Amino acid sequence: MRLMVAGGGTGGHIYPALALIEQLQRVEPETEVLYVGTTRGLENQIVPKAGIELRTMEMQGFKRSLSLDNFKTIYLFMKSVSTAKKWLKEFKPDVVLGTGGYVSGAVLYAAAKLGIPTVIHEQNSVVGVTNKFLSKYVDEIAISFEAARSQFPSDKVTLTGNPRAQQFLNAAGDEFSWTQVGLRDDVPTVMIFGGSQGAPKINQSVLMALPELNQRHYQVVFATGQKRYDAFMEQLAGQPIADHVKIVPYIDNMQTKLSHVQALVSRAGATTIAEVTALGLPTIMIPSPYVTANHQVKNAQALVDAGAAEMILESDLSGTSLLEAIDTLMLDERTQRQMAGKAEKSGHPHAADDLIAVMKQAIAKHQKSRG
């Protein structure tokens, strides 16, 4: 298969695409891929490291207020559509996949106008502006949350889940021992992780809960975020840290370590939800209030409704509320087992394969229409 992928800006658009590409190349080794991203997005660092050809174009979003910048946005979009048509004619993809971001809008619009099979993948429960725009033009739409279905033309939608789930599950069996970081493998462990940059309110709540966490019989692994580690340690001001509590700037090799914890405290991004449901991991979700359309709350609510997670709104977060939620999971094995089972049932362990099937469905639709 010849696949062109468009998506960029944030990891939430990039990692599902890379997971899909990895699985496609596993089942079809002759697959050729061209990734189209933005000049300033994270894809410039991530995609080349994955050994995938990357081409970029300049894009920007609309300003909500009246602004001359919006004229530039329209100009860049039209220019990008023209560039995309040129690249599409050169690469001749069998199908084009969009995973989100403004660049996805230009590339998939161009592909649709050229009569090339097109598919978009929506990671969140609240549909992004670009995917709403593209839904009128593309052949197929894959969603990660059932709640997104009603926001699209119903005859185009397939629930696949997030391809990151299948990729994460494939890597989760790697060997690991907590003794490598001075902990024990025979003691239940909770991980607290507010994202790669950390989350100030989560960090402050952990700081307030630390005296009690020092007294618990379960282990705690807490990542402050790279940029916030020094400030957090200064705030401790000599406060003791028990041997069973580990405070680190960042947690690498996450997929392996998550398969060795009993519960997680985290944000509610689409990628995180794909990962925890793939593993069947009980999770306390603290949605970020700083995202478009408050979509993390809606992402988390889908799992809460299924009994697969607990949620604490950041406005309700404190050392006390965090400690109570963690204790509920870590000290009650029955609750932990029930939530783990419901989290696993909410997952999509074959998400990448299902998205590949949707892409082939789009190709077949075009072949059928041509007679």
Mean pLDDT, residues 151-178: 89
Residues placed in the known binding site: 10-12, 124, 196, 251, 296
What tens digit of pLDDT does each residue of 42-96 get?
899 999 999 999 999 987 665 555 555 666 778 888 999 999 999 999 999 999 9
Note the helical H segments in 101-259.
Answer: 102-113, 129-134, 163-171, 200-213, 229-236, 254-258
Pair 164, 144: CB distance under 8 Å: no
Sorted by sequence, the CB contacts under 8 Å of residue 238 that are 6+ apart come out as none
More confident residue, 9 or 151: 151
- What is the percent of the chain with per-residue pLDDT over 90, rounded to a whole number? 80
Mean pLDDT, residues 147-169: 94
Of the candidates 135, 126, 125, 67, the one whose C-alpha atom is nearest the C-alpha of residue 105 is 135
Sorted by sequence, the CB contacts under 8 Å of residue 35 that are 6+ apart come out as 4, 5, 6, 17, 43, 47, 52, 53, 54, 55
More confident residue, 242 or 9: 242
Homologous superfamily (CATH) for 2-162+349-369: Glycogen Phosphorylase B; (3.40.50.2000)
Q: Is the dihedral of CA 305, 279, 185, 241 positive or negative?
A: negative
Bridge partners of residue 157, in order along the sequence: 141
Q: Residue 9 corresponds to which tokens in the numbers above?
A: 């800006």
For the question of whether the overall pTM of this predicted structure is more than 0.75, the answer is: yes
Cα distance between residue 142 and residue 123, in whole Å:
9
Of the candidates 132, 90, 95, the one whose C-alpha atom is nearest the C-alpha of residue 112 is 95
Residue with tokens 């072949």: 367
Sorted by sequence, the CB contacts under 8 Å of residue 67 that are 6+ apart come out as none
> ∠52-109-100 over CA atoms, to 5°?
55
CA 30 to chain CA mean position, Å: 27
Comparing 57-66, 166-175, 259-268, the range with the smallest average pLDDT is: 57-66
Pair 292, 61: CB distance under 8 Å: no
More confident residue, 70 or 293: 293
Mean pLDDT, residues 111-140: 95
- At residue 260, what are phi and psi to the nearest 5 degrees? -120, 25
Give the domain 175-345 fold: Rossmann fold (3.40.50)
Q: Residue 88 corresponds to which tokens in the numbers above?
A: 């599409």
Q: Residue 74 corresponds to which tokens in the numbers above?
A: 């329209």
pLDDT at 171: 74
Residue with tokens 């299924």: 306
Buried b / exposed e along 56-90 (16+ C-beta atoms within 10 A): bbebeeeeeeeeeeeeebeebbeebbebbbebbee
Query: Does the pLDDT at position 8 exceed 90?
Result: no
Residues placed in the known binding site for UDP-N-acetyl-alpha-D-glucosamine: 10-12, 124, 196, 251, 296
What tens digit of pLDDT does each residue of 73-86 get?
788 889 999 999 99
Mean pLDDT, residues 324-342: 95
Sorted by sequence, the CB contacts under 8 Å of residue 180 that are 6+ apart come out as none
Domain boundaries, the chain: 2-162+349-369, 175-345
> ∠351-352-354 over CA atoms, to 5°?
65
Measure Cα distances from 38 to 129, 340, 358 in Å.
17, 38, 25
Helix (H) or strand (E) holding 118: strand 118-122
